[in-house]
Amino acid sequence: MKRALLGLRSVKGVRVALVATEEGMLVASEGTGAGHPETIAALASRFLAAARRAFEEAGRPRPRRADLRGSEGRLILCDLEGAFLAVLVARDGGGDLESAIEAARTRLAAARNMATV
């Protein structure tokens, strides 16, 4: 899990990468700066819960990813079934972000499978 998060942290502009449970409990995190990981985890969990509820109410499939953009940066959230990955990126960030997120998701899914075996 740590390696997956460190891989994300190495991408230009990534300030925080974390994994938290659906309820917003922080599992692991890398990086600091723009916000406290616990706070990001809690706020992101609330947003995802509201989005899931809204999608369900409208009869739409469960949302898998969310990108929230502001004038100072971006928060990317990926569903990990029971948990989620959050990546906080500064305004000037980017680079290989998409492939790094995909790699981190694969690693986290593998780590999770190993943990449940």
Partner 1 sequence: MGRGWFWRWKHRAAQRALALDSTPERFAALSRDLASQGAHAEAAALAAEGFARFPESPELRSLFLSARTLDLERRRRRAGGVARGAFCADLVGLHLAAGDLRAASAVAEERVAEAGEDPQARLALARVKLARFHSTQAAGDGLEALSLLEGIGEGEGAGALRLLAELAADVGAWRAAHLYVARWRALAPNDPSAMRLQARLAAHRGEPSPDLPSAIRRATASRRAGGAEAGLAPGLERLARSEGVEHAAHARVGLGAAPPARGALAPERWLREIAETGMRTIVRVGLGDPTSVVVGGPSSAVLVGFGPSGAAVAECSGFEAAHKAEASALEAVTGGANA
Question: What does the binding site for partner 1 look like in residue numbers (CB under 8 A)?
Answer: 34-35, 39-40, 43-44, 46-47, 50-51, 53-55, 57-58, 60-75, 88, 91
Q: How far is the CB of 95 from partner 1 (least distance, A)?
A: 17
Q: How far is the CB of 111 from partner 1 (least distance, A)?
A: 22
Q: How far is the CB of 117 from partner 1 (least distance, A)?
A: 27
State both tokens at 86: 């959050």
All residues at 6 or more sequence positions from 103 whose CB lies less than 8 Å from its CB, including other chains? 4, 7
* Helices vs. strands in the chain: H and E counts, helices first: 3, 5
**15 to 18, 55, 102: CA distances (angstroms):** 10, 29, 18
State both tokens at 82: 């029971």
Q: Which is nearer to partner 1, 70 or 117 (CB)?
A: 70
Of 98, 80, 105, nearest in space to 89 by CA? 98
Q: How far is the CB of 72 from partner 1 (least distance, A)?
A: 3
Q: Which is nearer to partner 1, 3 or 12 (CB)?
A: 12
Q: Which is nearer to partner 1, 61 or 113 (CB)?
A: 61
